[in-house]
Structure formats: structure tokens, C-alpha cells
Amino acid sequence: MNKLNSTLLMVGMAVAGLTAGYLFNNWQHQQKLTQLNVSTAKETTLSNIRPLFKLKDLDDKVRDVKEWDGQVLMINFWATWCPPCRKEIPAFIKLQEKYEDKGFKIIGIALDEKQAVIDFTDPMGVNYPVLMAEQEGIALSKAYGNRLGVLPFSVIIDRKGNIIHRQRTELSFEQVETMIKPLI
């Protein structure tokens, strides 16, 4: 075999390998979404309709996002090892306290180990549901529009289940308040 044929064969094998890797990654992503019970009807086009999911809370009770239908939601993807995530949680505790009786609910989705989450949330007095997604939460956050997989990532959802705002950075009390006041 001459050098040209050898080079073409190697390039062909590299392209085949990359294609196989890409297809496997997409298949694996779909499997993770299926395991999480995430609705993926329009995954290729970013939808403004809240994807459905079921996850366990810190007491191992399965919680369905439908349980909060009719409320203004803020879903926050976070981890204990993420400094901006840790920094914004005290503001979320205050927001939940101030606006819960007006139909506002925060749902924290932890991409972390359960014990680390418990050790962090209990002393802080987190007053909203914290659901465990561990590493599978990355796929769920992508279904919500976090195409880069960054943390923290939050979405604001109106009472009809429409995603009103996506935020790929830390949020302050004032920023969230400004976004939710017209919705509650």
C-alpha cells in the first residue's frame, strides 16, 4: 500500500470514528433524558414550553414538576462545589419566603452527591424543594436551554408552563424579583 492510500485510509478511519462518537453521544444523551422522564418532543429546537421531569427529593420521594402547575417557578440547577451557586442560595431563601404565598416556588436541582447537598442545605435552612439529579442533571438542564452546561443555570416559568427567562450566571434577589413580579 502506498503512502497516499495509507493516508486516505487513516483519514477515513478518523472520520468514521468521529461520526461513531458523535452518534453514540447523541444516543447516550437521549437515554439519560429518557431515564429522567424528560419530555423531548422538540429537543432540536429550543422550546419555551417547560420540559417535564420526575426526580427524587432529599427524602427519596419522587417529585413531578407537574405538582407545581399553576405557580410561577424558578428552577435552579446548581452544585455545592460551584461558588456562584452557593452565593445565590441565601437570596433564593429570602425570595421563597417573601413570595411563596403569592404562588411563587423555587425548585433547586442539585448536580451533586446527595450527602454533600444535605450537608450544605440543612445548615442554610433552604426552604424550597431540592431535587437530586447528580450528573444526569446536565442532560435535564440542556433540555431547559443550558446548551453550554454551565452552573448556575436558572429558568423562570410562568403559571402556564412557559419559560420566560433563562439565566446562565448567578442571580441576585433584585434580578429575580424584577422578573417574577409581573408574573405573580
Over residues 91-130, the pLDDT tens digits come to 999 999 999 999 999 999 999 999 999 999 999 999 999 9
Whichever domain contains 83, its CATH number is: 3.40.30.10
In a domain, 28, yes or no: no
- Taking the C-alpha atoms of residue 104 and residue 8, their distance in angstroms, rounded to an integer, is 60
**Domains of the chain: total:** 1
In a domain, 27, yes or no: no
In a domain, 2, yes or no: no
**Dihedral (Cα; 136, 141, 144, 147), 10-degree rounding:** -110
pTM score, whole prediction: 0.75
In a domain, 54, yes or no: yes
Question: Is the per-residue pLDDT at 77 higher than 80?
Answer: yes
In a domain, 44, yes or no: yes
Predicted pLDDT at 45? 53
Mean pLDDT of the chain: 84
Query: Would you say 166 and 155 are in contact if contact means Cβ atoms under 8 Å apart?
Result: yes
Query: Would you say 82 and 152 are in contact if contact means Cβ atoms under 8 Å apart?
Result: yes
In a domain, 166, yes or no: yes
Over residues 163-175, the pLDDT tens digits come to 999 999 999 999 9
In a domain, 134, yes or no: yes
Q: Residue 43's domain spans which residues? A: 36-180
In a domain, 30, yes or no: no
Predicted pLDDT at 177? 97
